[in-house]
Structure 1
């Protein structure tokens, strides 16, 4: 655990609290190392093991849609997670990829923004649930509360991540005529039943 605020136990408790706030029915932690995500290893070494663990979860849960962090972000783990997840999503569908479970092809991959943003493919109105989103982010006190962490970071400054997330969601909302919206980038084109 390389994070400035908190430790693995505290961060785990905060993540569980945030999940309860959001009503998440299943939250998994694969125990991948903070600051140690590896991708592009071609199935060898630690990177191959990380990918195999993700493939195993994809094959077990068999999701139709997977949300993946956007490819640019100030945090190297978020960028690495983007690439590692894309590799695992591809490998999960391969008959000859050695991991537990039957191969599974994810129907849709959507990219979401953490620290950065880009032109979204579509927006989702989150006006009615935005306060719950804020509350869930604030549950991560060791990261977002200066008093809790004791050290100023880009996350806990008055104009830190929470400020940026709210500003981004307000901006995306303004584009759609609502108070708050989240933007997503679709890896594949979206097929709509019609234009109306």
Structure 2
């Protein structure tokens, strides 16, 4: 099931919070995308892995993803060991994305930076012919290396290397985020009202997301944008393609 873009997050809701607008924008341009969560977020203060799985699939449906998969790696103890890298290589070769969107290069949550490194490593190793993986039917997979890996910016305010205009998609992004009622319930029905408050559970966090989008958009002349970092700087063939 080939897709043009594969968005990867270490926790369910990372993708929605940080690059859902970009995915929606590119879907309208005719590109397809799939989603992969590395863990089930089992160490999260609120909710359960089962609840978060239901929320994640509801959000994926709202975004229009071709698929959403979970690699069931350990939350909080993520490492780039051989087993983890091979699982991710298998997923990359399965859908053969041209572009991969990954967690922030460094962030408040240690798993985000570790995930960024794991994803970058797996994207490179996925292109090596001598690393063999098999598909669900036991057949040998073909090697595949994405053209680019871009790291979305998350909690910490990092200087973006480029931004994507999400002005027309911000409302739909927030609808996808709202699928995670266990995490962001202060403005939603009170099914999880008895759970502890966290840095992301209140209205102030929703206000923060909107303010960050306005900040990213301002210098590029957009109302709202999402920011990304790169490790390998991209080339430009036509200066007039830049806003």
TM-score > 0.5, shorter chain as reference: yes
Q: Which residue of 2 is the match for residue 174 of structure 1?
A: 218
Deviations 1:61-90 (CA, angstroms, capped at 9, x unpaired) = 111111111111111221221111111111
Confirm or deny that 1:156 pairs with 2:201.
Answer: yes
Confirm or deny that 1:76 pairs with 2:110.
Answer: yes
Q: CA deviation at 1:8?
A: 1.1
Query: How many residue pairs align between the two structures?
Result: 188
Q: Which residue of 2 is the match for residue 122 of structure 1?
A: 162
Q: Secondary structure at the match of 2:112?
A: helix
Q: Which residue of 2 is the match for residue 6 of structure 1?
A: 47
Contact 2:166 2:225 in 1 (8 A): yes
* Greater percentage in helix: 1
* Greater percentage in strand: 2
Runs of 5+ consecutive residues of structure 2 not aligned to the other structure: 1-41, 135-140
Q: Which residue of 2 is the match for residue 93 of structure 1?
A: 127
Confirm or deny that 1:113 pairs with 2:157.
Answer: no
Provide the aligned C-alpha RMSD in A: 1.6
Structure 2 CA distance for aligned equivalents of residues 95 and 137 of structure 1: 38
Q: Which residue of 1 is the match for residue 68 of structure 2?
A: 27
Structure 1 CA distance for aligned equivalents of residues 110 and 153 of structure 2: 14
Runs of 5+ consecutive residues of structure 1 not aligned to the other structure: 40-46
Q: Which residue of 2 is the match for residue 145 of structure 1?
A: 185
Q: CA deviation at 1:138?
A: 1.6
